[in-house]
Each structure stands twice: as structure tokens, then as C-alpha cells.
Amino acid sequence: MDPPTIAGVVIGCCAGVGLIFCVYSSSSLLGRLIALPRQTCKEKNRNAVRVGILGAANIAPMALIFPARKMEDVVVAAVAARSFKKAQTFAKKYGIETVHENYNDLLDDDSIDVIYNPLPNGMHAFWTIEALKRGKHVLCEKPLASNADEVRAMIKAAAENKPKDGRKEGLLLVEAFHYRFHPLAREISRLVKSGVIGEVSHIEANFEIPWPFPPKSDIRFDMNGSNSELAGGSLMDAGCYAVNVMRLATDGKEPSEISTSKIIESYKGIDQSADAQFDFENGMTARIKCAFRAWGLKVPKLKVEATKFNLYVYNYLAPFVYHRLELTNRETMEKVVQNFYEGGASTYEYQLRAFVGALRGDRASMELCDFAGSPEDALKNMTIIDKIYEKAGLKPRSGKPIETL
């Protein structure tokens, strides 16, 4: 795979963070990215976790396939897609041994331990619940569902069904907010929780994907607004990150009110941008902005104003590409700049290692999965997204109907 292709994968998989200039400005970084597909384990463990992919999604190589190649205890063993031919092509390209005719055949494969679900948002709940019913653990892309009611149904399915592998803790369902598995996110949380920066007064977070991404024919635009069951929109795809990182900086406090919500639709029911402001019971305020096809370079950032220090994070989303954490003393205005590369592993590698560790019963991995992507936290995030839509006079998204609702 050549450098331009890898660069395209990074941009696409990170949803157009606009950091290509950083990639090419660092030869060591570019080398790591180019090496991702080639970092292959010589031999997999006999009891390696076997993962099946629902859909030949563009995110799957960066989020799962490449990290799995670096791990002895994970095998990407099967794939199914809407088109059998597309699944075959995908499997051949990435060395996946089994191709199933359809999604149900994959879910019925007793040799598969885990399902990775990168399908469109509106298909997350339906197919995740189907996987849980068959006793499969699930790593599901964000947002976990189309709305809060769907998340509740997923939590219920995870609790009511037993894992095929007999895991004593039950079925593992994790929302793939990959950035939260990285040491940078844990440091943000530590700084807030410990009181190092003082009492937080205001938070701002954004994720605005630069023009021309995504094209309006993309599933994130519900394919030119033609299929509402895909549950697309900028708030769902990009805004879920901004809401999530805002909540990371609140020390567990949830907004008491959405004071303003401005949403611009590209098609009826499909938002191209969103701008929302929040009030909290303790007087804290927050604001999130998200967009598709935004003009200019708008890297995902987090700004936190507090009584002792102001916290600024440049590129919270894909910190393995490039990031910067700044702490500015409110009294002296002295600034300290930090970064947390720790070997250069991608957020996706941290995520997969934690997921597999949690399956194996590793306590630290289970705690990290709970911190980064528990379904209970997904419910809180989705509840806020639903309310942002409602405040703007719109209905929450809805996906493929599920029987449990």
C-alpha cells in the first residue's frame, strides 16, 4: 500500500481531521503509518479471539484489521456485507479467511467470538442486538445507536443473553469511542477529576469535517437524504465526539439544560451542522460545534476554562497522528505543553487491546472499557444528542426497527 493510499485511509478513518500536513511533516510518523498494514504477527495464539466484521466498511482496516495484525491473540476471521462479491473482494484484500453470504450467516458462525459492527448508525442497534442474542460480544462503532431508546434495548439484550464462551462477567458490549482509550483522554480526565486545574467554568469542543468530506452521496448524508433509516447527520457522526469529549471534561456532571440549539439541515432530517450550548446546575456552561463539509482547517479541539488553569487540547480525536495539551496558569499566564504518544500506538490499537483484555478478564482492561465505551455512558451521550435535536425542533434519529422497542 503506497503512501497516498495510507494518507487517504488516515484522513477518511479519522473523518477528515485535516491533519495531512502533520503526517507529511514528520518522516517518523509517516513511516509508522505506512508500516501499519505490514506489521503482522508471525503466529497467532491457538486460543486467539476470533472476530467477524459486519460490512466491508472503510473504517475497518484502521480500526480493526491493522491493529489485529500486531496482536497474537486476535484474528479477524470472517466478514459479511450487503454484496457477497464486495465481501469477497474485501476479504481477499485484507487476508480474511471466511466470507459469509449475509449478516445472519456470520452471526450464526459458532467459530466467531466477537462481532465488530461498523455499519451505518441506523443499523447499529438492530444488528448488535442480533449478535448479542447469539451470545457474541460486540464492539460497535459510535454512536452506539440512533437514539437513547435503542441504547436501552441494547443494554437489555446484553444483560439478558449469555456469552457462548462462558465469560463469567457476561456479554461485553463496547462503544468504539477510540480516542478515549488513548493516554491523552485519560490525562484530560485526571486533570479535571483531581482538581489540578481548579473548578471548571466553561467548556468548548468541536469536530468539523472539512470540505469536501463527506460527499452528499455518503451514508452519513443518508445517501442524498434518500434513506432516513441510516440515521446520518453531522451531529450523529461528528457531534457525538464533541458531546463525548465535553462530557469527559465535566467530571461526571451532565447538563441540566440545553440553552440553545442551532441546526442547519442539508436535507429534511439530515443536519449538515449543529451548534449547541449547555447549562449545568453548578453554573458551568459548555458549547459544542460540529459540521460536515466545513470551510477551512478545523482540527478537533477541546477548551476548558477553570479557576487555576485553562486546558487546551489540539486534536483530541486522533492524537496518535499529532496532538498537543496545553495548561495555562490563570495567574502567571505561564504555559506548559505536553504530549502523550507513548510508543506511537494508534487509538484503535489501544481500543482493541483493551477490548480483548476485558474479554480475558484483565481488570485494568475492563476498567478502561468502562471508562471509554460502556453502554451506560453511551446512553448518557445519546440522551444529550436526542435533546439537541429536540431543542432545535427536530425529532431524534431512528434506525432499522427492532422488536424490543
142: annotated active-site residue: yes
What is the DSSP annotation of 179-245?
GGGSHHHHHHHHHHHTTTT-SEEEEEEEEEEETTPSPTTSGGGHHHHT-GGG---HIIIIIHHHHHH
CATH T-level assignment (fold) for domain 1-38+121-405: Dihydrodipicolinate Reductase; domain 2 (3.30.360)
User: For position 29, what pLDDT does the model report?
Assistant: 53
pLDDT of residue 4: 37
List, run by run, the mean pLDDT of 10-residue segments along the chain (405 residues).
41 41 40 55 87 97 96 97 97 98 98 98 98 98 98 98 94 98 98 98 98 90 85 97 98 97 92 98 98 94 98 98 97 97 94 98 98 98 98 94 65
Looking at the DSSP bridge assignments, the partners of residue 139 are 116, 174
pLDDT at 33: 57
pLDDT value for 39: 60
Write down the pLDDT at residue 403: 67
Among the listed residues 86, 92, 142, 395, the single catalytic one is: 142
Q: Quick check: 44 and 73 in contact, CB under 8 A?
A: yes
Given a contact cutoff of 8 angstroms between Cβ atoms, the answer to whether 273 and 290 are in contact is yes
200-210/285-294 β-pairing: parallel
For residues 51 and 75, what is the distance between their CA atoms, to the nearest angstrom?
Answer: 6
Distance CA(201)–CA(306), nearest Å, equals: 5
Cell of 184: 491523552
Q: Where are the alpha helices (DSSP H) in 134-182?
A: 148-160
CB 219 within 8 A of CB 82: no
Please report the pLDDT score of residue 128 as a whole number. 98
